[in-house]
Amino acid sequence: MQSATTRQVLKTLASKPVPAHYIGVWQRHLLETTTIKDDSSLVLWMQSQHYHIDVRIPATCTGFQAVSALQDYSDEELMLLASQQGFAGLTHVTSNTSQSSDVCQWVREIDYQTPTDARDIGKMVFTDADTVIETGVDDAYLEVWRRLKNSQEPCIFEMTTGINRKGLKIHAYLMLVADYVAYARPRATSLPKAPSLINAIQVHKPDRAQLLDWLDMEISFGEMVDDNHWKIKHSTLPFKQNSIVELPNK
């Protein structure tokens, strides 16, 4: 388990900006582990000079009914939402020029899934300017990432304020790289420790109100449509997809 001191050291290390060639919007094209191969999930990682926002939506997480709010989904649909992943926080890169590789660690400050003590850390090898292969340092996996075209500059990150389903204001992350936008707002309640969100639901059996609170975390990716508005294309709250929304603080 990481101590408070260890977490503070990681944040201090992450105060150093990542190398410029990491900045952009990256899409995962392949995940391979000892047991699975996934080339169908929608996985996007947006990286600024210091911060990242990441969303991971399984291919099975589709076909939701048209609703206007989280509470309008059925129990079965809510369980599908619980299979999603996503997180935001600081990024620390240690370069190893002798081996033509880096070690990249993502220090999660907010997480769609249940809390974990495991490090999110990988060895990064760029095969060209817009393709990087990530292999696990602590776990056995391989991921292939490709940067979206024209997604490097300008790059802007700011902490902002979001509103949850109950109308409460809560801190949020906003990132813009070129015409791409990523937004992450945490849930207002903490999750119990468990191997996964689905496991936490199965073990703790929250009532519907508590389940909605557990699932009320937004990670959205989209593109600008004018100077002040952007269109959400992918979201952990699928009823928001295709919405055109104003940038926070505008």
- 8 pLDDT higher than 70: no
For residue 247, being part of any structural domain is answered with: no
pLDDT at 1 over 50: no
Average pLDDT rounded to a whole number, residues 237-248 = 95
Task: Please report, for the domain that includes residue 81, its CATH number.
Answer: 2.40.128.320
pTM for this structure?
A: 0.93
- Residue 154, preceding peptide bond in cis (omega within 30° of 0): yes
Q: Is the pLDDT of residue 104 over 90?
A: yes
DSSP bridge partners of 86: 55
Report the alpha-carbon distance of residue 5 to residue 10 in Å, rounded: 9
- Measured from the Cβ of residue 40, the count of other Cβ atoms closer than 10 Å reads 11
Position 11 pLDDT exceeds 60: no
Q: Give the pLDDT band (50/70/90) at residue 183.
A: very high
Residue 47 within any structural domain of the chain:
yes
In this predicted model, what pLDDT tens digit does every residue of 161-171 receive, in sequence order?
999 999 999 99
47-85 pLDDT, tens digit each: 999 999 999 999 999 889 899 999 999 999 999 999 999
Query: What domain range includes position 128?
Result: 4-240
pLDDT of residue 63: 84
Is residue 225 situated within a structural domain?
Answer: yes
pLDDT, tens digit, 9 for 90 and up, residues 141-151: 999 999 999 99
- Residue at 68 is within a domain: yes
The whole-number pLDDT of residue 128 equals 96
Looking at the 3D structure of the chain, how many domains does it have? 1
In this predicted structure, what is the pLDDT of residue 215?
99
Average pLDDT (207-226) is 98
**Residue 245 within a domain:** no
Task: Tell me, yes or no, whether 130 lies in a domain.
Answer: yes
Mean pLDDT taken over the chain = 93
